[in-house]
Structure 1
Amino acid sequence: MTAAIRDLARLPLVDEVRVSEPIESVALKPEGPDAAAPAYLNAVAIVTTRLAPSVLLGYLHAIEQRHGRVRSERRSAREPGWEDRTLDLDLIAYGDVVSDDPALLLPHPRAAERDFVLGPWLAVDPDAVLPGVGRVDAALARLREPE
């Protein structure tokens, strides 16, 4: 994870990278959480950049590839590639940009459902807002409400 963060900071037109502490979560598979699979380490990076979102996403995929990630074919852009992976860099949000382009879904369509995204994001940016959802702290509180 440290090497990928260094790679992010070295990208052209990137001025700053702030990163949360990593947290461990249960592997998430199509059937749901899989405690028998190796746990995931999750962190959120806030990147200050002048790169266009599509260009940034391309760089994220290149960093994944350099660290051994192989992207498999998926049935649709809205379904994650569920293979085990060495590194998964998602573009969760880019300011207030909203995109339904299958090549660049913004904000990430499942971000508001993921404690392991919202928690670390809030730790790095207490005032964070997820476009179309609202404040990250409120979204996290809703997620953690007992049913």
Structure 2
Amino acid sequence: MNKVFLLLGANLGNPATQLAKALEKIESQVGKIEVCSSLYESEAWGVTDQPTFLNQVALVSTSLPPLDILDTIQTIENNLGRVRLSKWGARVIDIDILYFNHDCIQHERLVVPHPYLPDRRFVLVPLSEIAPSFTHPKLGLTTIDLLTQCEDSLDVHLYNPNDNDNAI
């Protein structure tokens, strides 16, 4: 079985509901969800003039090869209402492949490990919750090491729908 780490994110509509729906579809179409991180709220990265995001990382066991996973998660995004208007823009759902086993993939449609993974706290914080000692296959650093070295200063904290002051 292949192990794939997926990052889910949303900042339009009802992000918590959209992430839950995406996880259901991932479980039925990609493979068994082994573990999920908590939900984290984070400031937008790249294009900052937009609502905050909810993010979550899931580890999935799957028999699918990487490009089939990519096609499936893009279909899930489309079925949940994703419209690609601008890079790093607001969205109802986003699903990215972070890691596929310990493989390094350089394809015109897919680069794994995700090239921005070491630079984004909104990825590293939830990933460190479920895979703190997973080693980046190109950099040779664990998730915790990557988080410690990350220069991203954007706020990422546990999501609490009743209280947004749980900064990490």
Q: TM-score, normalised by structure 2?
A: 0.73
Q: 1:70 to 1:108 in 2, by over 3 A?
A: same
Amino acid of the structure 2 residue aligned with 1:106 = V
Deviation of 1:82 (Å):
2.7
Question: Runs of 4 or more off by more than 3 Å in structure 1?
Answer: none
- Using the TM superposition, give the Cα deviation of residue 144 of structure 1 relative to its aligned residue in structure 2, in angstroms: 5.9
Which amino acid counterpart does residue 110 of structure 1 have in structure 2?
Y
User: Structure 1 residues 71 and 123, CA, compared in 2 at 3 Å: closer, same or farther?
Assistant: same
2:104 is matched with 98
Q: Is 1:22 aligned to residue 22 of structure 2?
A: no
Distance in 2 of aligned mates of 1:145 and 1:65: 29
> Quick check: 1:39 aligned with 2:69?
no
C-alpha change, 1:71 and 1:118, in structure 2 (3 Å) is same
Q: Which amino acid aligns with 2:108?
A: P
Specify the alignment match of 1:77 in structure 2: none
Is the contact between residue 33 and residue 58 of structure 2 (CA under 8 Å) also seen in structure 1?
Answer: no
Q: 2:76 aligns with which of 63, 66, 85?
A: 63
Q: Distance in 2 between matches of 1:144 and 1:82?
A: 19
Q: Which runs of 5 or more residues in structure 2 are unaligned?
A: 1-18, 154-168
Which range moves more in the overlay, 135-144 or 87-96? 135-144
Match of 1:136 in 2: 143
Distance 1:29 1:139 in 2: 19
**Higher RCO structure (Cα 8 Å, ≥6 apart):** 2
Q: Give 2:93's aligned residue.
A: 87
Q: Offset of 1:106 from its aligned partner?
A: 0.7
Query: 1:36-78: CA deviations, max 9, x gaps?
Result: 5210111111111111011011111011111110124x7xxxx
Q: Which residue of 2 aligns with 1:115?
A: 121
Report the counterpart of residue 5 of structure 1 in structure 2.
23
CA RMSD of aligned residues (A): 2.0
CA shift at 1:95, angstroms? 1.1
Equivalent residue, structure 2, for 1:54: 67
Separation in 2 of the partners of 1:141 and 1:86? 30
Identical columns (%): 28
How many angstroms apart in 2 are the aligned matches of 1:120 and 1:16? 15
Query: What TM-score results when the alignment is normalised by the length of structure 1?
Result: 0.82
1:94 CA drift (Å): 0.3
Unaligned runs of 5+ in 1: 75-80
